Structure 1
Amino acid sequence: MPDFLNFATTPMTKCKAAAYILHRLTDILLTFYQIMEQDFFRPNTIGQRIARIRKMKGLKQETLAELIGISRQAMSNIETSDNIDDEKLAEIAKALDVAPEFIKNFNAGTGINNNIYQQNDGTINYNFNPIEKIVELYDALLRSEREKIELLQQLLQAEREKK
C-alpha cells in the first residue's frame, strides 16, 4: 500500500483519499501548465530564449558556460540580458547545436521541431515539443493514480468479503 495513504484507517477512507489526491494532482498540473504557458512558452528577451533552449536541451547553466569558455555568473548575466552581441550569440548557438537565427526567433510554445543540423557527416532531425512531454508525464501520473485507486478498491472489496 502506498505510504501516503497510511493515515486512512478503512479501505473506503483510503479510496476517498486516493480520489482526492488524484483530483488535487490534476489541479496542480493545470496550474503548472498555466504558469508554463505564461512564463516558459513566452520568452521575451534573447537571454530568456537562450535559457529556455539550454533547459530544453538538458544542459545546466554551468555546463553551457564551460562550453563557451565563460564563468557561470557571466552565463547568468547573458541569460538575464536583453541584448547579446552577434559573436557571443554565434558561440552559444554552436554550443547548443542550433543556428543563431533559431535563438533569435525561438518560441518555446512550438517546441524544438524539425531543427535539422549537420553532425559527423550526417543530418539529424531533432524533434522536441515541451507540451507533448507534459502530456506524456500527465498520462503516466494518471495511470499510476488509477492503479492506486484500483488497488484500494480491491482492498475495500476484500474487507467487505471478510464481514
Structure 2
Amino acid sequence: MLEIPTIGTTNVGHIHQSWGAGGNWDGGLLRLNTGYIHYNADQGVVGIRNDDVVTVSAKVTPSKLYDVEVGWQDFFAHNAALTASGFTFVPFKDASSATMTGTGTRMTTYASFMYHPIPNVDVYIAGDHLKTTGGYSASQAHLHDTADEVVTGVRYKW
C-alpha cells in the first residue's frame, strides 16, 4: 500500500500497482545491474495507464580511487495522462484531472566518473541524455524531445 503523501490525497479510489524484477552481478572490478518494472494506474476518466521500464547499468572500479558508471533506461508509457500543459504525468502522481493521454517512450542514457581522494569524499562529473518519442513529453525537456545535462560536484559523507 502506498502512503497518501506519495500519491496525493485526491488519488483515493484510484489504484496504482507496480512490480519489478532485477538483479546484479558483482565481479569486483565490474558490477552489472539489470531490471524490469511494470506499472498500472487508474487515472480516472482517461482510463488505465500501463508502463514497462527496462534498465541496464555497469560500474567499473579499476582502483579504490575512482570508478566509472554507465547506464541506460527505457520507459514505455501506454495511455499515460498528460498535464494541462501537455507533459506526461510521472508514475504515482494524481492524474484524475487529466483529459488527454499519450503513448510513447522516454529513454535516458547516463554516465559518471567519481574520484575518491579519501574514503568519505567524492569528486564527480556526471551527465545524461534524455530522448522522448511518440506521445511522451518530459517537462524537463521544455517542449523538446531531447534534453542533456552535465553536473559536477564534491560530496562529503559523514
TM-score bracket for this pair, using the shorter chain length? under 0.3
Normalized per residue, which structure has more strand? Answer: 2
Structure with more contact order per residue of length (Cα contacts < 8 Å, sep ≥ 6): 1
Normalized per residue, which structure has more helix? Answer: 1
Q: What is the TM-score with the length of structure 2 in the denominator?
A: 0.24
